[in-house]
Amino acid sequence: MDQQDIRRELGLRPIINVSGTMTSLGASIVVPEAVAAVAGILPQFVEIDHLQKKASQVIARLCNTEAGFVTASCSAAITLAVAGAMTGPDLAAVERLPDTTGLKNEVLIQTGHMVSYGAPVEQGIRLSGARVVPVGQATSAHAYQLKGAITERTAAAVYVVSHHTVQYGLIPLDEFVAICHAHGVPVIVDAASEYDLTGFLATGADIALYSSHKFLGGPTGGIVAGKTELVRAAYLQNSGIGRGMKIGKEGMVGTIAALEAWEKRDHAGIRERETGYLKLWQDTLNGRPGITALIEPDPTHNPLDRLKVFVEPQEAHITAWDLADALASGSIPVIVRDHEVEHGFFYMDPCNLHSGQEAIVARRLVEELEKARQSNEVIATSLERRRNRREEALKKWPH
């Protein structure tokens, strides 16, 4: 490990992230261009509105749209975009929020899109003062249900693109947009963790929202991109509820730098390197009792694959969740993507590794699997207790 690692100075665990671009793990490795830009702007003063205009130009170019700005996070972007759809350019209405008296204040969202990304999506909508109107059921939504939910009070519709959402039985974006636009309803796409900076707007969405700090590799921030009128209305919220969601000059400049670096990035070369990591891990696991490792594409069609690791407890002598926990312990913790671990598998994501860490991950897999095989009994702790562990830890924070 790097001897200059600041985590050591802070007394923090030197984790290796094979979970993905997760906010709870620090999101991503910030690209050198953004690090340099942040360092360069921090000692300087700047007119924030002018800096946001510069950001708008870069966002518009990268997203092939009209305008954009940077805010505190993609979650903040949801709240601001929804608020803008309700208030328009009315500054008095901006100052009244979250009081929506006299405004269109209903926001549609498919029930299968009402997921948590660390907080509920619908809470981000409600923070603006809007009323959430679910469309359809958790695993099915139909055009007639969307049409039937639109009223004279409908201000906007939110569409979530994420691996967290239900991946079948829901209304696809193009049909969703067509129905909403036929009734004069703007569509806001939450694409926080998506590679595609142009496709959602090209499909007809009025606003697309992204995280600066995920695949882009920028500092923490959110990007609002889309049609000028709606982007401007969202930006005006910085004089209202958006004040508590403001982003500093460093976040804006870092996001600009990350976007510009994205244009020049060797995406094909990165994919080739990541594929090598996946093959290394797969080869490491092949033939091990109770373990099946398959390379699987991203469910929302981002151009990357992950390793899906199935664990058969009787053969491996350990459950999938206990193996995930074992990997996450020790002097070199490896954090896997364990959102579905109760089904007997977890994922390993190769997109957030420093050079050489892929070999450390392979070694840790071998260590923990061999240790489990030496156990006379299957290591199988309470899944219910594990599920409630985070809640219990939060209640004790900061201890």
> Is this model's pTM higher than 0.85 or not?
yes
* pLDDT cut 90: percent of the chain above it: 73
For residue 99, how many C-alpha atoms fall within 13 Å in the half-sphere facing its CB?
6
Instruction: Give residue 372's pLDDT band: very low, low, confident or very high (50, 70, 90).
Output: very high
- What pLDDT is recorded for position 322? 92
Maximum pairwise Cα distance, the chain: 70
383: which 2 tokens? 């899944």
Domains observed in the chain: 6-24+266-394 (3.90.1150.180), 32-264 (3.40.640.10)
Q: Where are the alpha helices (DSSP H) in 42-133?
A: 48-63, 74-87, 91-96, 121-126
HSE of 284 in the Cβ direction (CA atoms, 13 Å)? 21
pLDDT for 163 beyond 90: no
CA distances in angstroms from 8 to 1, 5, 219, listed in the order given: 10, 6, 21
Tell me the HSE value of 178 on the side-chain side, using a 13 A CA sphere.
7
First to last CA, the chain: 28
For the chain, state the CA radius of gyration: 22
| pLDDT tens per residue, range 312-328 | 999 999 999 999 999 99
Q: How confident is the model at residue 1 (pLDDT cuts 50, 70, 90)?
A: very low
d(CA 363, CA 365): 5
Task: Find the mean pLDDT for residues 315-343.
Answer: 91
Q: Where are the alpha helices (DSSP H) in the chain?
A: 6-10, 32-41, 48-63, 74-87, 91-96, 121-126, 143-149, 173-182, 199-202, 228-235, 249-264, 267-285, 313-316, 320-327, 357-373, 383-387, 389-396
List, in sequence order, every residue forming a beta bridge with 310; answer none if it has no partner: 292, 345
Structure tokens at 85: 């759809």
